[in-house]
Amino acid sequence: MLELRNDFVTTAGQLPTVNCQIIVRSELLELSCLDLISRIQQEAEENPALELECRLPLEELPTVPVSHSARRRPADPGFDPTSVAPSQHELRDELHRRIGWVSAGAQREIACWLIECIDERGYLATTLLEAALDLGVELAEVEAALRVLQRVAPAGVGARNLRECLLLQMDALADVPEQARLVAEHCQGLMTGEGLNALGEGLGLTSAELREGLAFIRAHLTPYPGEQFRPDWHHLLPGNPHATCPDVLLSLGGDAVEVELTTARALDLRVAGAYRRLDEQMRQLGARSEDDAMTRAREQVRSAQRLIWSLEQRERSLYRIAQAIVRQQHDFILHGPLEHRPLTHKRIAELTGLHESTVSRATAGKLVRMPSGESVSFGVFFDDALPAKTVLRGIVAAEPAESPLTDDDLQEALATEGFEVARRTVNKYRRALGIPSSADRRRSYLAA
C-alpha cells in the first residue's frame, strides 16, 4: 500500500536578496550634482533626524551658464563684476582681467557693465545712450570707458557695427593698404545693395584695387572677432542644457592634477545631535520602546544613516573613478585634445576595482571642470576620435573661403596629419562638430 509522508528536509542554498542600501547608493550614483543636492535637501526636509549644512549656497556652486544676458548695476552694494562672467574662461573673463590693468573706480565699473553687454560675436549689444541711462552717468563717461575697453580688448571686440569692428582691427595692424581701409570705411554700402562695382566707382578704385582691398580684409580681418576666443573645449560641452554644474573639480597643484568633488565642497550631512544621542541611549539600554514616537524617531535615525552611508559610497566611487581618469589622461588635461589617449570604461573598472557598469553609471550625464576653468562632459575622456576631430576643426578653420574643402579633401588632409579614416567617418565627425557641408560653408563665406 502506498504510504504518503510529509517529511521536511533542510538543504543549504543561496537565494538572491535585495539590499536597500545598495539600491539607494546606485540611485545616488546616477544623479548629477544639482539633482543629488535637490534629492538630499528633500530628504532633510522630510526627515528631522537628518541635518544638512550647505557650505556653499546653490548660487555659488561652479556652473556652466546657459545664458549670459543677465546684467547687474555696478552701483549695487557688494557688486563683483566677475560674479556675472561665465564660469568658463572665455572672452568676457579675459576682458574683465584686462580692464583691471588700465582703469579703476567709476570708469572700471562702467567698463565692466559694458563687458556684460558684449555678445558671443564680440559686438556691444547695447547703445551708449541706453548704458548711460541705466547706469545714471553722463554719456561722455560711457564713451570714454568704451574707448578704454576697445583699446585693451582683442582687436575688433567691443565694436558697435561691422565698420567699427574692421577699423579697430586695422588699427592694430601695420602696413594696411589704403584701398582696404577705404573698403572697410564704406562697407555698409555693401549691405544696402550697392554692390561691389558701385562701391568701387564711388571710392574711385579700379577693379584690381577693389579686389586687393577685399583680399586683404578676408586674409587679415574677421567680422566676428569674439568667436576666435571661444575656449578649445567649447565643442566638448554636453548637449544637455540641464547639466550646468560640474560634479568633479580639477585643479593644478604643481605638476599634479588634484581632484575634488563638488558635493564634498558644498555639503555636510550628518545625523542631528539630539536624535543621535537618543538612539545611543536606547541602544545602550538594549530595550525596545513601546512609544510610537520613540520608535518613529529611531527609524528616522536609521534612514538618515543609510542615506549618509550611500552618499559616502557614491563619493568614494566617483572620486576613485576621477582619480583613475586623471592618471590615464594627465597630458590631455594639461595640454589639450591632441594629447588624448584611448581609454575605455573597462580599463577604468580594472584600475578601480569597480564594475564596468558602475563606471558607466557614475560618469553618464556628468561634468568635469578642467584646471583651465572650462567644463566638459565625462564622455570626452573616452572619445578616441577626439584628436582627429580636433585636427579636422583646425583644417576647416584654415580652409580657403573661395573653395571650401569637400569631405574627400578633408579625408586626404586628415591622412596627411596621420589620421587614416574613411570618408563616411569624416562626414560623421564633421556632423558631430556641427560643421556644415562644403556647399553650405561656401554660401556662408560669401554672405560674410
Same domain, yes or no: 343 and 405? no
Q: Please state, as a whole number, how many other Cβ atoms lie within 10 Å of the Cβ of residue 18.
A: 6
Average pLDDT, the chain: 77
Same domain, yes or no: 307 and 376? yes
Domain membership flag for residue 1 = no
Domain membership flag for residue 160 = no
Strands 50-54 and 367-369, by their bridges, are unpaired
Given 361, 384, 407, which residue is the final one in a domain? 384
The predicted structure's pLDDT at residue 192: 45
Domain membership flag for residue 90 = yes
Q: Is the pLDDT of residue 373 over 70?
A: yes
Same domain, yes or no: 261 and 126? no
Domain membership flag for residue 304 = yes
Same domain, yes or no: 91 and 141? yes
Q: Could you write out the three-class secondary structure of the chain?
A: CCCCCCCCCCCCCCCCCCCHHHHHHHHHHHCCHHHHHHHHHHHHHHCCCEEEEECCCHHHCCCCCCCCCCCCCCCCCCCCHHHHCCCCCCHHHHHHHHHHHHCCHHHHHHHHHHHCCECCCCEECCCHHHHHHHHCCCHHHHHHHHHHHHHHCCCCCCECCHHHHHHHHHHCCCCCCHHHHHHHHCCHHHHCCCHHHHHHHHHCCCHHHHHHHHHHHHHHCCCCHHHHHCCCCHHHCCCCCCCCCCCEEEEEECCEEEEEEHHHHHEEEEECHHHHHHHHHHHHHCCCCCCHHHHHHHHHHHHHHHHHHHHHHHHHHHHHHHHHHHHHCHHHHHHCHHHCCCCCHHHHHHHHCCCHHHHHHHHCCCEEECCCCCEEEHHHHHCCCHHHHHHHHHHHHCCCCCCCCCHHHHHHHHHHCCCCCCHHHHHHHHHHCCCCCHHHHHHHHHHC
Q: Please state, as a whole number, how many other Cβ atoms lie within 10 Å of the Cβ of residue 322.
A: 26
Looking at residues 61-82, what average pLDDT do you find? Answer: 39
Strands 248-253 and 256-261, by their bridges, are antiparallel
Tell me the pLDDT band of 201, cut-offs 50, 70 and 90.
low
Same domain, yes or no: 247 and 369? yes
- Copy the grid coordinates of residue 299: 527609524
> Which of 51, 31, 431, 424 has its CA nearest to residue 262?
31
Q: Which residues pair with 52 in a beta bridge?
A: 269
Same domain, yes or no: 379 and 246? yes
Residue 131 near residue 142 (C-beta atoms within 8 A): yes
Tell me the pLDDT band of 317, cut-offs 50, 70 and 90.
very high
Same domain, yes or no: 253 and 277? yes
Winning range, highest mean pLDDT, from 9-23, 151-165, 347-361: 347-361
Tell me the pLDDT band of 320, cut-offs 50, 70 and 90.
very high
Tell me the pLDDT band of 448, cut-offs 50, 70 and 90.
low
Residue 185 near residue 134 (C-beta atoms within 8 A): no
Given 104, 121, 153, which residue is the final one in a domain? 153
Strands 248-253 and 367-369, by their bridges, are parallel
Same domain, yes or no: 344 and 417? no
Write the Ramachandran bin of 9: left for phi over 0, alpha for psi from -120 to 50, otherwise beta: beta
Tell me the pLDDT band of 250, cut-offs 50, 70 and 90.
very high
- For residues 442 and 275, give the distance between their C-alpha atoms in angstroms, rounded to a whole number: 70
Burial class (CB in 10 A: 0-12, 13-18, 19+), 431: exposed
The predicted structure's pLDDT at residue 171: 87
- For residues 406 and 423, give the distance between their C-alpha atoms in angstroms, rounded to a whole number: 10
Same domain, yes or no: 257 and 232? no
Given 332, 359, 384, which residue is the final one in a domain? 384
Tell me the pLDDT band of 175, cut-offs 50, 70 and 90.
confident
Tell me the pLDDT band of 297, cut-offs 50, 70 and 90.
confident
CATH number at residue 420: 1.10.10.60
**Structural domain total, the chain:** 4
Domain membership flag for residue 159 = no
Domain membership flag for residue 2 = no
Same domain, yes or no: 425 and 331? no
Looking at residues 92-119, what average pLDDT do you find? Answer: 81
Same domain, yes or no: 318 and 392? no
Looking at residues 211-224, what average pLDDT do you find? Answer: 83
Same domain, yes or no: 244 and 375? yes
Q: Which range among 96-105, 244-253, 389-398 shows the weakest confidence by mean pLDDT?
A: 96-105
- Copy the grid coordinates of residue 310: 550611500
Burial class (CB in 10 A: 0-12, 13-18, 19+), 286: exposed
Domain membership flag for residue 311 = yes
Tell me the pLDDT band of 196, cut-offs 50, 70 and 90.
low
Tell me the pLDDT band of 348, cut-offs 50, 70 and 90.
very high
Domain membership flag for residue 145 = yes
- Copy the grid coordinates of residue 359: 563606471
Domain extent, residue 408, equals 386-447
